[in-house]
Amino acid sequence: MNSTSPVDMFALTIGGITRDVPLVRLASNRRLPLVEFLGDTQLCAAAALELQKLLPENAQVLFTCETSSIPLVHDLAQISKLPYEVARKRRRPYMNDPLIQEVASMTLGVGETLWLDKNRSENLKGKQVVIVLDVVASGGTIQALERLILRSGGKVCARVAAFSQGKPKLELKVAQELPIFDGVG
């Protein structure tokens, strides 16, 4: 780290594509390279190809939550020919009898709520569901998605992520592990 630089940068690589990204501070006072698939179709396509290799053969549905993982799961759905569902972070006006799930995310430092509309949760029922995320740090989001799958009557088939910070405690297939940076700039 160059302590005279205003922002410390990190060379993020996945599927042979590299981006120089800033390190951003988490609520936990650790720092994490800023992964941005939104607006980066090349990085997203490369990561989706890597995630495809991690999908179990019996996978039937992909599942994520908004927002930053959406382009990734969308690309992965296209190349794997699997359907996908997205839990929302706000109640939408058209939702009817949605499942509501609290999530404690260390990345954001505040609790969040996930909403899954009834007709969406029915698409998970009885299915082998794969949780797909762009970055996993504390694992809180995965646990909330897992609860939504179980409450929908689905089965958690696998958990896959493009990046993880360190080695998460839960069982997770990761395309690229990121180093842990302490909070000192």
Question: Which residues lie near a copy of itself (CB under 8 A)?
Answer: 22, 24-27, 34, 38-39, 41, 44-45, 66-67, 70-71, 74-75, 77-78, 83-86, 88-90, 93-94, 107-109, 120, 123
- Residue 171: CB minimum distance to a copy of itself, A: 25
Contacts of 81-88 with C-beta under 8 Å, sequence gap 24+, read: 82/55, 82/130, 83/123, 84/132, 85/61, 85/116, 85/120, 85/123, 85/124, 86/120, 87/63, 87/114, 87/115, 87/116, 87/144, 87/145, 87/148, 88/114, 88/115, 88/116, 88/117
- Residue 85: CB minimum distance to a copy of itself, A: 5
- Residue 18: CB minimum distance to a copy of itself, A: 18
Cis peptide before 67 (omega within 30 of 0): yes
Q: Which is nearer to a copy of itself, 22 or 185 (CB)?
A: 22
- Residue 7: CB minimum distance to a copy of itself, A: 9
Strands 61-65 and 128-136: parallel
Q: Which is nearer to a copy of itself, 33 or 170 (CB)?
A: 33
Q: Which is nearer to a copy of itself, 112 or 156 (CB)?
A: 112
What's the DSSP call for residue 180? P
Q: Which is nearer to a copy of itself, 8 or 171 (CB)?
A: 8
